[in-house]
Chains A and B, each alone.
Chain A
Amino acid sequence: MTNSTSNSIENLKDLLTKHYDIKEFEEPIALQLAFNIDKESALDALAFLKSQGFGQLSLLTCIDWIESGQFQLVYILMNWDNGIHLQLRTFLDRDKPVFKTIQHIYPGVKYYERDVHEFFGVEFEGNEESYQHLFLEMWTADPPMRKDFDPVKYSDDKYSMREYTTEFPTKIGGK
């Protein structure tokens, strides 16, 4: 069993390097493969992988690399035949994060794109519904999952706290 799956991971790596320019692969745990790809060929790679049997999109999420000024989108795809999870990562520019929607490839990504749009501010061209809120109603501040959003300050401003007295008649350990 492991022979065939490690064979299929090797086959997959060969197939991907043949078509796309990928510098390095990572294998976080068994049966998982992760690689980074540039933005222009990401859409093509997703369609290609769907045709190779990766029929399920498990997750779409985003990581905020604030020091290098980039967003990293991560698509996790799964193949039901040999059980391999594939992580496809692309970098986007942090000041103007724009990407294309992949609803025509995986229709269920509609809600993930709304989620990433709402919490990070990434725009997905072609997904008209992504501008509706999903979790946060009537949200007017910055997208909250960005690293430069301060939730403590927002919470203290908006929601009042209960005052506590800090002077007590006795102290710990007696008088």
Chain B
Amino acid sequence: MAIDDKVGRDAWEKLGDFFRARSIWMMWYCTGCGAIEMPPTMTSRFDMERLGMGPMATPRQADVLLITGYLSTKTLRRVIYSYEQMQDPKYIVAFGSCAINGGIYFDSYATINKLDDYLPVDLYIAGCMPRPEAIMNAFNTLQQSIRKGEADGWKRYKKNSEFYKENQRKAIGEVFVHDEFHE
């Protein structure tokens, strides 16, 4: 769902996008089985820090949320919690085929099929799991789209919030964590 009224970016936003494209901090939250491909990407062999990316400990400090793999309803509740704590401008990159159309868990009662209905995704990476070379390629693409101003997932989330909230409520009920550790 793109923004219909194409308001151009003013000079501050272009300058901000210049900086934001070259220094992206990911949140240290590895949601699914695809997180196994993150350590090779971060360490010596396929060094992610060359692109300016690095991990940060909390959602408040992070720019990009990497959804690595399938999302069960329980995880989705907590991911939405964390996504709403992040500060604008923020991006989401979804790894693997489970976020695109359900992947190998398309017939499960506990996993969602199409992530686009619940959170605004900026980039999908195909694969099960994508290899570190594919992930580095995708980060390059993400950087270019940020530089051009096309990565506007956070704007879409704010503009179409009724759409997203309605879908979230239909699929996972209430986005409030009720478990015995919180109560």
Contact = CB atoms under 8 A, between A and B. Distances in A.
Q: Do these two chains really belong together in a complex?
A: yes
Interface of A: 132, 135-138, 141, 144, 149, 151-152, 154-155, 158-162, 164
A35 B179 CA distance: 38
B173 to A, nearest CB: 4
B94 interface: no
Which of B73, B109, B111, B116 has the most C-beta atoms of chain A within 10 angstroms of its own C-beta? Answer: B109
Contacts of A159: 102, 111-114, 171
Contacts of B112: 159
B5 to A, nearest CB: 26
B180 interface: yes
Interface string B71-102: 00110010000000000000000000000111
B1 to A, nearest CB: 14
Contacts of B101: 161-162, 164
A16 B171 CA distance: 51
Contact of B113 (A138, A149, A162): A162
A138 B108 contact: no
B114 A158 contact: no
Contact of A132 (B77, B172, B180): B180
B6 interface: no
Contact of B171 (A135, A136, A158, A162): A158
Given A132-B180, A151-B107, A155-B108, 4 more contacts: A152-B107, A155-B106, A159-B102, A164-B101
Nearest to B73: A137
Interface residues of B, number: 26
B180 A155 contact: no
Nearest to B102: A161
B145 interface: no
Nearest to A137: B74
A152 B119 CA distance: 23
Nearest to B100: A162
Contact of A155 (B113, B167, B172, B174): B113
A158 B168 CA distance: 11
Contacts of A132: 180
A94 B178 CA distance: 31
Given A137-B73, A162-B100, A155 B114 contact: no
A155 B109 contact: yes
A135 B117 CA distance: 24
B28 to A, nearest CB: 24
B45 interface: no
A158 B173 contact: no
Contacts of A149: 109
A160 to B, nearest CB: 5
B178 A137 contact: yes
A154 B109 CA distance: 6
B179 A137 contact: yes
B33 interface: no
A162 B173 contact: no
Which of A138, A151, A159 has the most C-beta atoms of chain B within 10 angstroms of its own C-beta? Answer: A159
